[in-house]
Amino acid sequence: METIKFKILFGRPDKGTDPRPFIRDKEAISLDLNILESYINEKCGGKEIFLGCWSPKGLDVNHILGSDNLQIEQGTNWFVIRNGAQEIDGLVFPEMSDGPELVTFRGYLGEEGIHSYSNSEDVRAYWANDLMREHNGVFSAAIVGRSGLTLSLVSDIFSIGPLYYRELGDMVLFASSPSLLAQKGDRLDINAWWMRINIGHCLDNTTLSQEIKKVSPATVMNFTAEGSTSKTWFDYSKFPHGEKAVDDEALKASHESFSCAIERCERLNHGMAVVPLSSGYDSRRIFAHLKNRTDDTETCTVRMPNQNGEDIDGSYAPQMSEDFGIKNTKFYVDDAAEWHKDSSQRLFAVDAQTDYHTWAVPIFDNYKGKVVSFYDGIGGDVFGFYGWNFKYNPQTLNLDYRSRILNLDIMDEVKYSRDISEFWHKKLPENINQDLLNFCIWQSSNQISLWNQQQAAPGHLLLCPYFDLDYIRTMLQFSCDKDEEISVQKDILNKFFPELGAYPGTGNLPKAGKEIPIIKEENRMRSLQKLTLIVLKNKGCRAQLKSQLNLKALLLLFLSTFSLAVTNRISWWSTNIVEISLWWHSRPYVINWDNEQNKS
C-alpha cells in the first residue's frame, strides 16, 4: 500500500499569485482510497460515487493511493474523487480555461440536454451561470467558483439526486453517499432513526447521523470564508393548486406534456435505453413512448410475487415487450444464499436509509460495465389528478406503536418526532397538493428513489420523466374529489395507446404458485436471521442495541437467531434496527481529520 503526501498549496504555477488573502494556514486531513474502493466495490456492488472537500484554507493531505479507476482532481483548496474513471468520462469537470474551478455533476437536465457524461464544455457552461434559475432535471451538483473562493451545492426540485454534506473544522465535505462522510465519534440522530423505523425513511434534510445532512430540495447552498447561506431556487407556492376539473382535456394535456418529457430524455442520447417494466401502468406508459425504438431499447422485469401468490410482474410485462419486438431480461426470486447476498449489498448501497429494493440488485449487476439510460417510473402514481392523504401526514402518523420495544432512557428523545414531521409538513403551501408534494420531498426522495440513485454503476444515467417540471405543473392543475377513483395512467393508455392498455394490470393478474411468496418470505427471514447474528457478535452493535431496546426486545432478538418463527414474529421492528446497527458500525472512515494538528 503506497502512501503519497501532497499539499494543496496557496497557488498554482500557471495562475501566478493567489488572490485569496484569507488563506493563511492549512487544514490537515488524510484520505484512505483503499478503504473507499473496498467499501464501494465489496459492500456496495461497485455503485457510482463522488466525494469532495472544500476549505477557505489550504489543505495538507496524506493520501493513501487507490486504483486507476479513481479520478482525483485538486485545486488550491479543494479536491474531488469519483470512481469509474477507467470505464467512462464524466461527473467531474475541472477548469479548462474560464469559469468555475470545478463542476461535479451527476444526473441530467432535460431542456439543456446535458448529463453526467456530457461534453465538459457544455456542463461547465451551464453551471457557470445563474444557479438560482429553474433547473429541469434530476441531479446533484457541486461547484467550486473562480479562484476557489466559493463552494455551491445545488439540488433538484425534490432532491431526488443524492447530495450530502458536513462541516468539519473549516472544511465542507460533500458526497453522493452519507457513508463516505462518516467520522469516528459521529452521533446517531435518534429522531431520524425513529422516523426511519416508523415510516421507512428520514425526513427532509436529516440523515441517520447528526453531523451529516442532505441538501434540501430545490436549494442552492453557498459556502465562503465568511460563512454559508441557503436559498431555494423554486417557490412551491407557484405550483398550480389543483383548481381544474378532470376531463378529456386533462387527459390530453397530460399526454402531450409527458410526450415532451420523454422527448427531452431521448435527446440526451446516452447508450441503450432500458425500461424496468412491470405489469403496472407507470412503467408501461414510458414503454408506450419507446416501443418503436427496437434497435436501442430493451426492458427488464423482476418477478416479485405478493402474499396472495400473484406474480405481479412476471407474466405480462415480458409478454408486452416481446410482442413489440423488444428484448426483455427476466430476473427471478433468488435462492436463500443469493437473496442474503443481494440484501446485504442493498443495505450498504442505500446506506441503511430504507429496507426496500433488494429486488433491484440483479438489475444493476446485470448492466454493470454497460452504457445505459434507465427510464424510471418514479412519480407516475403520484401525479394523478388528486391530492393524496399520505401516511406521513403528521395528523395520521402513529409514532407510538413501536415504543414498547424501546429502552425508557431514549423515550424522551424520540417523542419530538411528531413535532419535527409537522414542522416539515407545514413548510409547503396549504392546498390540495400539499400532501402530494410532501410525498415527493420525503418518501420519493429519501426512500423510493434509492433503488437506482444509490445502486447504479458508472455509466448508468437515471432518467425520471414524471419529474419533468413542465409535466408536474400540468398535472398539478387538476384535481378531483378524494373519494373519486381515477386511474390516470390506465385511462391515458386506453385513450392513446389502446394496444398496451388492453394488457391486464396489477388489479387483474393471474395466480402464480403459492410456493413463490412463501419462498421469498422465507429467504427474507433467513437473511434477517444471519444479519441479526452478525450484529449480536459485534461489540459496538451490542452496546448500541442495549442503549436503544428494553430487556424483552433484546431477549427476543437473541432468540430469533435460533428460531425462524421468532425472527418472523419480530421482523416488523427488528429488520430496521438490525440493518441500521450493522451499517452504522461498518461505515468506512475514508477521510480522517487530524484535529490535534489543526489545533496546534
In sequence order, which residues have a C-beta less than 8 Å from that of residue 339 and are 6 or more positions away?
333, 358, 520, 523, 524, 526, 527
Q: What does the pLDDT read at residue 197?
A: 85
- Between CA 363 and CA 300 the distance in angstroms is 8
Does residue 24 carry a pLDDT above 50? no
Does residue 231 carry a pLDDT above 60? yes
Does residue 559 carry a pLDDT above 60? yes
> Given pLDDT bands bounded at 50, 70 and 90, which one contains residue 404?
confident
Q: What does the pLDDT read at residue 308?
A: 59
Average pLDDT in the 16-23 region?
40
Distances from the Cα of 372 to the Cα of 49, 262, 295, 332, angstroms: 17, 16, 13, 22
H-only helix segments in 378-433: 411-414, 417-425
How many residues are there in the chain? Answer: 600
Residue of 489 and 465 predicted with greater confidence: 465
- Between CA 537 and CA 178 the distance in angstroms is 25
Q: What does the pLDDT read at residue 535?
A: 97
Percent of the chain with pLDDT over 90: 62
Does residue 387 carry a pLDDT above 70? no
Does residue 20 carry a pLDDT above 60? no
- Between CA 359 and CA 297 the distance in angstroms is 22
Minimum mean pLDDT among 109-113, 180-184, 395-399, 539-543: which range? 395-399
Nearest to 276, CA basis, from 329, 347, 332: 329
In the numeric block, the cell 419529474 is attached to 467
Average pLDDT in the 279-292 region?
93
In sequence order, which residues have a C-beta less than 8 Å from that of residue 523 and are 6 or more positions away?
333, 334, 335, 336, 339, 340
Angle between helices 488-496 and 281-290 (to 10 degrees): 30
Q: Where are the beta strands (DSSP E) in 296-392?
A: 297-302, 328-331, 372-375
Euclidean distance between the first and the last CA atom of the chain, given in angstroms as a whole number:
29
Amino acid letter for position 459: G
In this structure, what C-alpha cell is assigned to residue 57?
Answer: 484554507
Q: What does the pLDDT read at residue 562?
A: 96
Q: What is the mean pLDDT of the chain?
A: 86
- Between CA 149 and CA 161 the distance in angstroms is 25
Does residue 3 carry a pLDDT above 80? no
Name the strand (E) or helix (H) holding 159.
none
Average pLDDT in the 397-425 region?
68
Does residue 357 carry a pLDDT above 60? yes
Name the strand (E) or helix (H) holding 233.
none
Amino acid letter for position 88: I
- Between CA 545 and CA 550 the distance in angstroms is 9
Phi first, then psi: what are they for 142, rounded to 5°?
Answer: -130, 125
> Per mean pLDDT, which of 2-11, 71-80, 268-277, 403-412 is the most reliable?
268-277
> Given pLDDT bands bounded at 50, 70 and 90, which one contains residue 390?
very low
Q: What does the pLDDT read at residue 39?
A: 97
Report whether 109 contacts 135 (CB < 8 A).
yes
Average pLDDT in the 377-384 region?
87
CA 273 from chain center: how many Å? 20
Report whether 397 contacts 422 (CB < 8 A).
no
Q: What does the pLDDT read at residue 585?
A: 97
